[in-house]
């Protein structure tokens, strides 16, 4: 196996660290962003591009899913949004010459930073079996290869189709249709590693897997708890909203193991006040919690509210509880039995402080809880988030102004992708609607999520992998296992804008399909197309790129999927009655021949496998549509979405002229809860928190300020005072000493995890510099994706299956 890349490009002697910054954003941030933009795009293109971000006639920022304010500023961009845009709008190119000059073996030695720096992909490439280099291939041939690989499968479940969250609603909807038309629900996505725990907890308790607040609610909240989130880096535009809330009198409590700069103080570069007066103090209270202690914190809030209620009364919203909820009695009894000493042990926070938070909640007229990965990537994340819901339900903090649940999404359209069907466990209601719309029968059996897909690839039951964006190899846990799993697949296909590790650690054969990004002009069918996206608060709007694409050769994601559908399902342009019909020859996996073959010669794998997809009612059980027409006019795809997904009425009209379509949200709009009993549900959750074995540390893997997930912009983490390198591990100074290490020492990180068989497994990440940092005792932090090698594939959250990226037991080891 090739050497693991990351150590190669990094000169550890250059790493520097200084004090943590106390203020986020401000003028230096804007200058830094402009410098990166100019490097990648030149001055003219930078200004043209950056002025169009998140404007009503512009494109949706590919940076994050935080919503736009209705009254947009001239330049509604933030430093990290500008970096995301520059990364995509770069003038550097990766074409056939590049691949001729660099062998696969050589490319494997580079890290994600170097690969990303090479520029935009410009033409389809294929890696033949055993070849040393990718070679160019025409679009027709590339798509033909993919279609025949799909046809050659014995069972559609041998194929896996991953999606990252930048894909537009239109492309995502067609993509899931392709996959379901083939006969599988194997649609893992980045959400499985991201907010899946939020979706699981919220669907069960309030009947919708999304948050319940609008941007106006944030502005009007009386109290905002921001837990497990670093908005200064990952959602910088959220700081403006927090600042506004603050000016309206809100209190902000930051709950985090780390004193993140963005939460402490914010200089808004778009106001004089921000630039000239040292910014706004954001957090009124910083609760330095231990990793994984948040379930205890929210139980403590509940406990405090219930105690004051029984002593003085006037705390709970009895009318709301009676009318809209169930399970209150059981919850309040269970909470009464939890001891303060255990809540203190779990959080590492004194009872006095826990009560202070409880008091802030009690006296608040409207409370919002915002959270991100710090709350979703633990073993007990779903229970933790159910307890967040419990705490808010007590005072009726759902479905009224300034109050509610606010999971802050990551990728700019990750929420929209789910809405339009990217989900391995689709609802029957969705599938029924899809069946009706496209006159076929979608499979009902659930598919693989991300971790299950990796297991199946590892075990040899997957022969085809396709990634619609993203960087599966670097983003997923247990890097060595994933690399081997990927190499175990016959054909891997990546639809991508930029080169990444998933192109160089690939299947026996591999295809790269370069595609348009958000900033690129998308001309199809003789006119400029727009796409649409949904932000973190359920608001859908259009996005239209204006820049000349990096190459005339590029196809949009929509065009790629539409052409695959046409190849695999086949269509005749028009039949006698004018409607579209499938061609009656060898189309798709499910033609008669394949079904017969599967029934006659059962392979050993099939005998042990779970029940087969039910045989289709007619031999050509494929979705029926005029694929060429959909490719030529994306509005036709939106018309289909409108017919299948509730809430998209008048889709086209409502997103016109910069308009916004607000998707219905029962809990927020009308306090209706589509749960098993039609009520918001209090739940009883046994208190859990990580126990750290002696001499070990609990490691969280997180983002630096200079990265977008696996895309590394640079080697600095300005707000945390780290410069020039990413292989650092942040440890409390007292732990460094107690464990017998020295500051700046280069160590190995070794993770220890007890597998289901009771055997302790070890995984190693080499050469990390020890940096003394203000993290709680026993807790450490290091960057993802360098540390993904430490996260065991089978260490996942209960219920949601999310890898436990914020909870990895490690020991430090001296080198030599």
Ligand X SMILES: Nc1nc2c(c(=O)[nH]1)N[C@H]1C(S)=C(S)[C@@H](COP(=O)(O)OP(=O)(O)OC[C@H]3O[C@@H](n4cnc5c(=O)[nH]c(N)nc54)[C@H](O)[C@@H]3O)O[C@H]1N2
Is 20 an interacting residue with respect to ligand X (CB under 6 A)?
Answer: no
Residue ranges of E strands in 111-263 = 120-121, 125-127, 135-136, 159-163, 223-227, 251-255
Is 228 an interacting residue with respect to Mo ion (CB under 5 A)?
Answer: no
Is 803 an interacting residue with respect to Mo ion (CB under 5 A)?
Answer: no
DSSP 98-144: HHHHS-HHHHTTS-HHHHHHT-EE-S-EEE-TT-SS-EE--HHHHHH
CB of 525 to ligand X, least distance (A): 20
Q: Encoding tokens for residue 691?
A: 């126990």
Of 697 and 702, which CB lies nearer to ligand X in the complex structure? 702
Is 149 an interacting residue with respect to Mo ion (CB under 5 A)?
Answer: no
Q: Please state the separation of Cα 55 from the chain's center in Å.
A: 24
Q: Of ligand X, Mo ion, none, which one does residue 80 interact with (CB within 5 to 8 Å by kind)?
A: ligand X
> How many of the other CB atoms lie within 10 Å of CB of 105?
12
Is 505 an interacting residue with respect to ligand X (CB under 6 A)?
Answer: no
Query: Which residue in the set 58, 292, 667, 714 belongs to the binding site for ligand X (CB under 6 A)?
Result: 292
CB of 419 to Mo ion, least distance (A): 16
CB of 198 to Mo ion, least distance (A): 11
Phi-psi group of 183: left, alpha or beta (phi > 0 → left; psi -120 to 50 → alpha; rest → beta): left
Q: Please state the separation of Cα 764 from the chain's center in Å.
A: 26
Candidates 9-17, 437-445, 699-707, 758-766: pick the segment binding ligand X (CB under 6 A). Answer: 699-707
Query: Which residue in the set 21, 45, 52, 166 belongs to the binding site for ligand X (CB under 6 A)?
Result: 166
Contact set for ligand X, span 48-77 (CB under 6 A): 63-64
Is 703 an interacting residue with respect to ligand X (CB under 6 A)?
Answer: yes
What is the pattern of x (binds ligand X, CB under 6 A) and - over residues 75-114? -----x----------------------------------
Of 163 and 529, which CB lies nearer to Mo ion in the complex structure? 163
Beta bridge partners of 763: 751
Is 366 an interacting residue with respect to ligand X (CB under 6 A)?
Answer: no
Beta bridge partners of 142: none
- Please enumerate in sequence order all residues whose Cβ is within 8 A of that of 424, keeping only pairs 6 or more positions apart, or say none: 185, 186, 187, 188, 192, 446, 447, 448, 449, 452
Is 700 an interacting residue with respect to ligand X (CB under 6 A)?
Answer: yes
Q: Encoding tokens for residue 394?
A: 């007590």
Q: Of Mo ion, ligand X, none, which one does residue 150 interact with (CB within 5 to 8 Å by kind)?
A: none
Is 194 an interacting residue with respect to Mo ion (CB under 5 A)?
Answer: yes
> How many of the other CB atoms lie within 10 Å of CB of 739?
16
What is the pattern of x (binds ligand X, CB under 6 A) and - over residues 753-792? -------------------------------x--xx--x-
**In the block, which residue shows the tokens 């600095």?**
716
Query: Which residue in the set 217, 557, 591, 717 belongs to the binding site for ligand X (CB under 6 A)?
Result: 557
> What string of H, E and C letters represents the secondary structure of 44-111?
HHHHHHHCCECCCCCECCCCCCCCCCCCCCCCCCCHHHHHHHHHHHCCCEECHHHHHHCCHHHHCCCC
Is 294 an interacting residue with respect to ligand X (CB under 6 A)?
Answer: yes
Is 410 an interacting residue with respect to Mo ion (CB under 5 A)?
Answer: yes
- Please enumerate in sequence order all residues whose Cβ is within 8 A of that of 198, keeping only pairs 6 or more positions apart, or say none: 209, 371, 375, 376, 385, 407
Contact set for ligand X, span 587-616 (CB under 6 A): none
Of 228 and 550, which CB lies nearer to ligand X in the complex structure? 228
What is the pattern of x (binds ligand X, CB under 6 A) and - over residues 240-269? ---------------xxxx-x---------
Number of residues near ligand X (by CB under 6 A): 59
- Please enumerate in sequence order all residues whose Cβ is within 8 A of that of 212, keeping only pairs 6 or more positions apart, or say none: 206, 398, 399, 404, 405, 406, 665, 667, 668
Of 194 and 630, which CB lies nearer to Mo ion in the complex structure? 194
Q: What's phi and psi for 174, nearest 5 deg?
A: -65, -40
DSSP structure class, residue 547: B
CB of 293 to ligand X, least distance (A): 6
Question: β-strands 159-163, 464-468: how paired?
Answer: parallel
CB of 262 to ligand X, least distance (A): 9
What is the pattern of x (binds Mo ion, CB under 5 A) and - over residues 338-377? ----------------------------------------
Distance CA 242, CA 247 (A): 9
Is 81 an interacting residue with respect to Mo ion (CB under 5 A)?
Answer: no
Kindly state the helix (H) or strand (E) to which residue 468 belongs, with its residue range: strand 464-468
CB of 392 to ligand X, least distance (A): 16
Helices in 366-500 by DSSP H: which ranges?
A: 373-376, 381-393, 414-419, 428-438, 450-458, 472-475, 479-487
Q: Of Mo ion, ligand X, none, which one does residue 227 interact with (CB within 5 to 8 Å by kind)?
A: ligand X
Is 410 an interacting residue with respect to ligand X (CB under 6 A)?
Answer: yes
CB of 771 to ligand X, least distance (A): 14
Query: Which residue in the set 517, 545, 776, 801 belongs to the binding site for ligand X (CB under 6 A)?
Result: 517
Is 470 an interacting residue with respect to ligand X (CB under 6 A)?
Answer: yes
Residue nearest to Mo ion (CB): 410
Q: Of ligand X, Mo ion, none, which one does residue 775 interact with (CB within 5 to 8 Å by kind)?
A: none
Residue ranges of E strands in 228-340 = 251-255, 265-267, 280-281, 285-287, 325-326
Q: Please state the separation of Cα 803 from the chain's center in Å.
A: 12
Distance CA 18, CA 671 (A): 49
Is 23 an interacting residue with respect to ligand X (CB under 6 A)?
Answer: no
For the four alpha carbons of 414, 420, 422 and 425, in that order, the dihedral sign comes to positive
Candidates 324-332, 431-439, 586-594, 697-705: pick the segment binding ligand X (CB under 6 A). Answer: 697-705
DSSP structure class, residue 424: S
Is 722 an interacting residue with respect to Mo ion (CB under 5 A)?
Answer: no
Q: Which residues bind Mo ion (CB under 5 A)?
A: 194, 410
Q: Which residues bind ligand X (CB under 6 A)?
A: 63-64, 80, 164, 166, 190, 193-194, 227-230, 233-235, 255-258, 260, 289, 291-292, 294, 372-374, 410-411, 468-472, 475, 495-498, 500, 515, 517-518, 557, 700-703, 707-711, 784, 787-788, 791, 805-806
């Amino acid at each position: 196996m090739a050497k693991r890349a990351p150590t190669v490009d990094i000169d550890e002697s250059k790493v520097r660290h200084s004090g943590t910054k106390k203020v986020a954003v401000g003028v230096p941030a804007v200058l830094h962003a402009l410098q990166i933009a100019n490097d990648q795009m030149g001055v003219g293109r930078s200004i043209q591009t950056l002025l169009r971000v998140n404007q009503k006639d512009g494109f949706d920022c590919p940076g994050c899913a935080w919503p736009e304010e209705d009254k947009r500023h001239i330049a509604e961009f933030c430093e990290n949004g500008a970096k995301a845009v520059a990364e995509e709008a770069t003038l550097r190119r990766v074409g056939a010459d590049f691949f001729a000059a660099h062998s696969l073996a050589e490319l494997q030695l580079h890290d994600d930073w170097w690969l990303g720096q090479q520029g935009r992909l410009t033409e389809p490439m294929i890696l033949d079996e055993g070849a040393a280099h990718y070679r160019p291939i025409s679009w027709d041939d590339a798509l033909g290869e993919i279609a025949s690989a799909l046809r050659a499968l014995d069972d559609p479940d041998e194929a896996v189709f991953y999606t990252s969250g930048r894909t537009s609603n239109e492309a995502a909807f067609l993509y899931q249709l392709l996959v379901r038309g083939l006969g599988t629900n194997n649609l893992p996505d980045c959400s499985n590693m991201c907010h899946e725990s939020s979706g699981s907890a919220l669907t069960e308790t309030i009947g919708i897997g999304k948050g319940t607040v609008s941007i106006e609610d944030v502005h009007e909240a009386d109290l905002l708890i921001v837990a497990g989130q670093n908005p200064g880096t990952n959602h910088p535009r959220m700081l403006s909203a927090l600042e506004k809330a603050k000016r309206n009198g809100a209190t902000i409590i930051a709950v985090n193991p780390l004193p993140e700069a963005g939460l402490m103080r914010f200089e808004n570069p778009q106001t004089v006040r921000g630039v000239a007066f040292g910014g706004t103090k954001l957090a009124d209270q910083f609760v330095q919690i231990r990793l994984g202690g948040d379930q205890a914190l929210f139980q403590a809030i509940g406990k405090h509210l219930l105690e004051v209620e029984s002593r003085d009364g006037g705390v709970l919203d009895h009318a709301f509880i009676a009318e809209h909820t169930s399970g209150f009695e059981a919850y309040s009894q269970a909470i009464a039995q939890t001891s303060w000493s255990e809540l203190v042990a779990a959080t590492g926070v004194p009872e006095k402080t826990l009560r202070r938070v409880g008091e802030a909640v009690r006296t608040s007229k409207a409370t919002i809880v915002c959270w991100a990965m710090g709350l979703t990537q633990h073993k007990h994340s779903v229970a933790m988030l159910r307890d967040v819901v419990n705490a808010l339900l007590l005072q009726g903090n759902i479905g009224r102004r300034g109050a509610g649940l606010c999971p802050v999404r990551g990728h700019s359209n990750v929420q929209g992708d789910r809405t339009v069907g990217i989900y391995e466990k689709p609802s029957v209601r969705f599938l029924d609607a899809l069946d009706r719309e496209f006159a076929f029968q979608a499979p009902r059996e659930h598919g693989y999520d991300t971790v299950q897909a990796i297991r199946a690839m590892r075990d040899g039951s997957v022969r085809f992998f396709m990634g619609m964006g993203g960087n599966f190899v670097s983003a997923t846990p247990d890097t060595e296992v994933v690399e081997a799993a990927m190499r175990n697949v016959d054909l891997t296909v990546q639809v991508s804008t930029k080169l990444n590790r998933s192109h160089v650690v690939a299947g026996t054969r591999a295809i790269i399909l370069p595609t348009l990004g958000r900033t690129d002009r998308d001309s199809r069918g003789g006119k400029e197309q727009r796409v649409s996206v949904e932000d973190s608060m359920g608001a859908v709007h259009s996005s239209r790129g204006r820049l000349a694409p990096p190459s005339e050769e590029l196809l949009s994601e929509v065009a790629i999927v539409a052409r695959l559908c046409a190849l695999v399902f086949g269509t005749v342009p028009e039949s006698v009655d004018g409607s579209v019909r499938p061609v009656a020859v060898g189309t798709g996996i499910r033609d008669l021949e394949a079904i017969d073959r599967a029934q006659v010669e059962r392979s050993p794998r099939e005998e042990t496998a779970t029940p087969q997809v039910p045989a289709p009612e007619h031999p050509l059980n494929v979705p029926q549509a005029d694929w060429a027409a959909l490719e030529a006019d994306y509005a036709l795809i939106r018309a289909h979405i409108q017919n299948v997904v509730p809430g998209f009425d008048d889709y086209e009209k409502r997103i016109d002229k910069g308009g916004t379509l607000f998707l219905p949200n029962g809990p927020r709009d009308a306090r209706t809860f589509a749960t098993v009993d039609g009520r918001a549900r209090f739940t009883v959750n046994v208190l859990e928190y990580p126990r750290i074995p002696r001499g070990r540390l609990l490691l969280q893997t997180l983002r630096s300020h200079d990265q977008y997930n696996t895309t590394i912009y640079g080697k600095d983490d300005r707000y945390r005072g780290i410069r020039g390198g990413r292989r650092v591990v942040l440890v409390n100074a007292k732990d460094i000493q107690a464990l017998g290490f020295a500051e700046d020492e280069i160590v190995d990180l070794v993770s220890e995890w007890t597998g289901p068989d009771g055997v302790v497994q070890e995984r190693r990440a080499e050469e990390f510099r020890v940096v003394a940092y203000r993290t709680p005792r026993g807790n450490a932090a290091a960057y993802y994706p360098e540390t993904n090698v430490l996260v065991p594939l089978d260490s996942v959250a209960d219920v949601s299956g999310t890898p436990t990226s914020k909870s990895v037991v490690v020991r430090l080891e001296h080198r030599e």
